[in-house]
Amino acid sequence: MAENLPQTRPVLHVCVTCRRGLPLTDDPVQGRQLYDALTSHAKNGDFSVEPVECMATCSRGCVAAVSMPEKWTLLLGQLGPEKVEDLLTFLNVYRTSKTGTVMPSKRPASLSDMILARLPASLSASQELS
């Protein structure tokens, strides 16, 4: 019954509508580019990536949220397709962290100020019980 086992890899929810301050008429959409780049890397199974239509943090885009059971959920901002390799490094540190905390000294330099919010694991656990 593998479906009852705790998830052992991070889930990254990426806002695919983020435009990083670009006008609504400009294409390509930066959030979609970030999602597409991450999807190609997610095939190795170290993490999964899910699209989200809007995370309501337009002034801080591109944004994503990373979560795992019993760990902090982190809302990440100021991302972009050019930061994919550094984001993969961050995800590996997050995955191996006991609580999901990734200290600034453990983050790639380009992601030093990207954490916008930290949400307790108990929020997702309480939703699963309802």
- Is residue 61 classed exposed, middle or buried when 0-12, 13-18 and 19+ CB atoms within 10 A define those classes? buried
Specify the pLDDT at position 127. 46
Which pLDDT does position 21 carry in this prediction?
64
Average pLDDT for 24-42: 85
pTM: 0.83
Q: Averaged over 91-108, what is the pLDDT?
A: 92
Averaged pLDDT for residues 125-130: 47
pLDDT of 73 strictly over 60: yes
> Which pLDDT does position 121 carry in this prediction?
81
Residue 61, pLDDT > 60, answer: yes
